[in-house]
Structures are given as structure tokens and as C-alpha cells.
Amino acid sequence: MTVNPSRAGRLRRFASKAVAYAFALVALGVFCLDARAETLVLGGKNFTEQYVLDEITAQYLRSKGYRLDVRTGLGSTLLRSAQVDGQVDIVWEYTGTAALVYDKITEKLDPRDTYLRVKALDANRGIVWLDASPLNNTYALALPRQVAQATGIRTISQLAAKLAGDPKSTRHLFAMDIEFANRPDGLVPLEAAYGMHFSRADTRQMDPGLVYTALHNDQVMIGLVYTTDGRVKGFGIVPLEDDRHFFPAYNATPVVRAVVLQRHPQLAAQLDALSAALNNDVMLDMNKRVDVDGQSVESVAAQFLRTHRLP
């Protein structure tokens, strides 16, 4: 049978298009399969709160069908470098850490502006800051419960007035970590902001964990603490209100590589829902149950997810 040349050409062109279309479908199928089967790397730092946040995130996302490789116990700088280099996909970062440590921002910003600034800077690096949680793990000056009850002091300004009004022979020992005592945004500017002065004899520099013990044992009057550390609640320590807003905000925020969010369109909304469920009271309780009560991170995270019905 003789085949019309023009018809034969049309058949060849149709066959070529069909083959190309078939390859496109196969490629698309492989891409979708790979996206679903992709293992996301969740990174975390080396303290209790981060272990808890990572475990909650891992249990929650796995329940939604994600595959996760969890890498915890990293230092802030190492974790940051790993995410910038694409080795870690998701982290819980703090706005103050990003502003002061990573971006070297020196101007005084309120919590909202701090968040917006670090979000904008990281957008240029392909890193997306999702919704900041109400959880603010910043510094605080704190008193033993009995001292707070006896004096009625609830703010740092009230503490400064109390110190100024006491006889000079009265000792007010102030425990802090070595870094805070010596860094340019630490003790000296705090004294200037509140009109306080602590002599060398009035200060005790020690490991951060020992500050809580010294307050608990009534060995010092004042201690520098983290607002969501479980020992604040477990040891009956009373953080004072920073009424002049000296300490920067450290709002915990899920931070994700942009390419990961593009491949997983639902991930942002899921992490934002988790972020909204966190606050200082919730985190204080969870940290206490791990550090003071001896419960496992896994059980504390599971209880959180049972209590908070996330979408």
C-alpha cells in the first residue's frame, strides 16, 4: 500500500508529540512521587525547649504524612549555617537571635519590627519566616518567691527603686552568666537603662543553670534567667516585668527554606497553626515537666498534641 507523503509526515509528527507527552507525564509522575517521598530535615538547638519544640513538630508533621530526619543538639551558629547551605529545611528560630547574632542589627526595635526585619533579610537568602509564636523566651531579672512576696517588687523599675533606697551596707547579690556580665549589650547598659549599679562584690558570675539553683536556695537576691526555663516555675522563681523594654524579644518562629514550601504547599499553614498554639505559659509547663519532673520529651510532646487539636 502506498502511503501519502504528507500523511506520513503528519503521522511522524503526531508520534513524536505523543512520545514527548508520554515522557512528560512520566517525569511529572516521578516529580510528584519524589515530592511526596521527600525526607525533610528538621534541625534543633541544644537545650530543653528546642528538644521539646522539635519533638512536637516531628510528631505533628509525621501524623500528616511527612517523612522527617530530625537533627537536634546543634549550636545556634552551626544550625544557622546548615539551613543557609540547604542541609536543614525547618528550624525553630528566635527573632532576637537572628537580629543580634546573625544579622548584627544594633538599633533598638520593638518585637514586631524585629520580626519584620529578620523576615525581610532572610527572604533574600531563600529562607522564609512563618508566623511568630507568642512564645517569647527572652531574658529577665528574677527574685526568689519569698523575696518577691516580702517586698512586693514586680518590675525592674521597682527593684531599682528598692536598691537605691536601701542602706549602702545591704548586700544585693546578683547572679548571672559570664557572657551577660561582659558583653556590650549586657550588664552595663542594663544598669544605665534602669539607673542601677552593682559593684564587683555584688555580682556572681556562674554557669547559667546554676543561677536557678542559687535563687532557689536563697543564695542570691537577683538572678538573670530565661523567661520560659522550666526551673522558673519548678523552683518558684518570680521574673520581673521589663517595664522599660531593655531586653529584646525572642519570639520562637518556624523558619523554612523557600524551596521546601514550594514543594509542600500545606506546610506553611500547618506550622503556623502549631506556632499559634504556643505561648510562655504552655512552654514553661512543658519545660518544667522535662527538667524538673523528669518526664520524657516524647511524652510531653504527645500530651501537647492531644491537648491542642491542630488541623
Domain ranges for the chain, please list them: 35-136+251-307, 139-239
- Whether residue 54 has pLDDT greater than 80: yes
User: Using 50, 70 and 90 to split pLDDT, how confident is the model at 284?
Assistant: very high
**pLDDT number for residue 169:** 52
- Whether residue 93 has pLDDT greater than 80: yes
Q: Which run of H or of E encompasses 178? A: helix 178-182
Whether 216 and 237 have beta carbons less than 8 Å apart is answered as: yes
CATH topology identical between 35-136+251-307 and 139-239:
yes
The H-assigned helical ranges of the chain are: 5-37, 48-63, 76-84, 95-97, 111-123, 145-151, 156-165, 178-182, 187-194, 208-216, 230-234, 258-263, 267-276, 280-291, 297-307
In angstroms, the CA 47 to CA 180 distance is 18
Task: Fold for 139-239, please state it.
Answer: D-Maltodextrin-Binding Protein; domain 2 (3.40.190)
Average pLDDT on 38-47 reads 96
Task: Fold for 35-136+251-307, please state it.
Answer: D-Maltodextrin-Binding Protein; domain 2 (3.40.190)
How deeply is 59 buried, as exposed, middle or buried, from its count of CB atoms within 10 A (0-12, 13-18, 19+)? Answer: middle
Instruction: Please give the grid coordinates belonging to residue 25.
Output: 507525564
Cα-Cα-Cα-Cα torsion 115, 119, 122, 127, nearest 10 degrees, comes to 120
- Whether residue 19 has pLDDT greater than 80: no
Segment 56-91, tens digit of pLDDT: 999 999 999 999 999 999 999 999 999 999 999 999
Average pLDDT on 112-123 reads 98
Segment 189-220, tens digit of pLDDT: 999 999 999 989 999 999 999 999 999 999 99
Q: What percent of the chain has pLDDT over 90?
A: 79
Contacts of 3 (CB under 8 A, 6+ apart): none
**pLDDT number for residue 265:** 94
User: Using 50, 70 and 90 to split pLDDT, how confident is the model at 124?
Assistant: very high
**pLDDT number for residue 185:** 76
